[in-house]
Structure 1
Amino acid sequence: MSTTLIIIVLANVLFSFKGFNDLFFFRKYDFHIGSIRNGDQIRMFSSAFLHADIGHLFFNMLTLYFFAPVVEGYLGEISFLLIYISSLLFGNLLTLYLHKNDLSYRAIGASGAVTGVLYSAILLQPDMMLGIFFIIPMPAYLFGILYLLYSIYGMKSKNDNIGHTAHFGGAIGGYVFTIIKQPEMLVENTLMVVLLTIPIIILFIMAKSGKL
Structure 2
Amino acid sequence: MNIILLSLIVINVLVSYKAINDTYFFRKYEFHIGSIKSGEQLRIITSGFLHVDFQHLLFNMLTLYFFAPYVIYNLNVLYFLYIYFGSLIAGNLLTFYFHKNEYSYRAVGASGAVTGVIFSAILLEPNLYMYGFIPGYVFGFAYMLFSIYGMKAKRDNIGHVAHFGGAIGGYIITLSKIPQLITTEPVTVGALLIPIVVLFFLQKMNKL
Q: Same fold (TM over 0.5)?
A: yes
Determine whether 1:49 maps to 2:49: yes
Determine whether 1:186 maps to 2:182: yes
Q: 1:161 offset after TM fit, Å?
A: 4.2
Deviates more, 1:17-26 or 1:188-197: 17-26
Aligned counterpart for 2:152 among listed residues 149, 156, 159: 156
Matching residue's letter, 1:72: I
Q: 1:143 offset after TM fit, Å?
A: 2.3
Aligned counterpart for 2:194 among listed residues 182, 198, 204: 198
Q: 1:160 offset after TM fit, Å?
A: 4.4
Aligned counterparts of 1:89 and 1:52: Cα–Cα separation in 2: 19
Distance 1:100 1:67, change over 3 A: same
> Does structure 1 conserve the Cα–Cα contact (< 8 Å) formed by 2:148 and 2:199?
yes
Aligned counterparts of 2:117 and 2:20: Cα–Cα separation in 1: 25
Aligned counterparts of 2:143 and 2:17: Cα–Cα separation in 1: 25
Aligned counterparts of 1:43 and 1:177: Cα–Cα separation in 2: 22
Distance 1:161 1:50, change over 3 A: farther
Instruction: Tell me which residue corresponds to 1:172.
Output: 168
Instruction: Tell me which residue corresponds to 1:14.
Output: 14
Query: Could you say what the CA RMSD is over the residues aligned between the two structures, in angstroms?
Result: 1.6
> Does structure 1 conserve the Cα–Cα contact (< 8 Å) formed by 2:138 and 2:191?
no
Determine whether 1:210 maps to 2:199: no
Deviates more, 1:55-64 or 1:69-78: 55-64
TM-score (norm 2): 0.93
> Does structure 2 conserve the Cα–Cα contact (< 8 Å) formed by 1:74 and 1:124?
yes
Distance 1:176 1:149, change over 3 A: same
Distance 1:8 1:160, change over 3 A: farther
Aligned counterparts of 2:105 and 2:154: Cα–Cα separation in 1: 10
- What SS is found at the alignment partner of 2:133? strand
Q: 1:99 offset after TM fit, Å?
A: 1.3
Matching residue's letter, 1:42: L
What pairs up with 1:6-155 in 2 under 5 angstroms?
6-131=6-131, 137-155=133-151
Aligned counterparts of 2:88 and 2:197: Cα–Cα separation in 1: 20
Matching residue's letter, 2:68: A
Cα distance per residue 1:25-44 (max 9 Å; x no partner): 11111110000000111211
Matching residue's letter, 1:209: M
Query: Paired residues, what number?
Result: 208
Identity value in percent: 57
Structure 1: stretches of 5+ with no match in the other structure: none
Cα distance per residue 1:149-193 (max 9 Å; x no partner): 332233234344443211122111111111111111111111110
Structure 2: stretches of 5+ with no match in the other structure: none
Q: 1:45 offset after TM fit, Å?
A: 0.5
Aligned counterparts of 2:76 and 2:204: Cα–Cα separation in 1: 37
TM-score (norm 1): 0.91
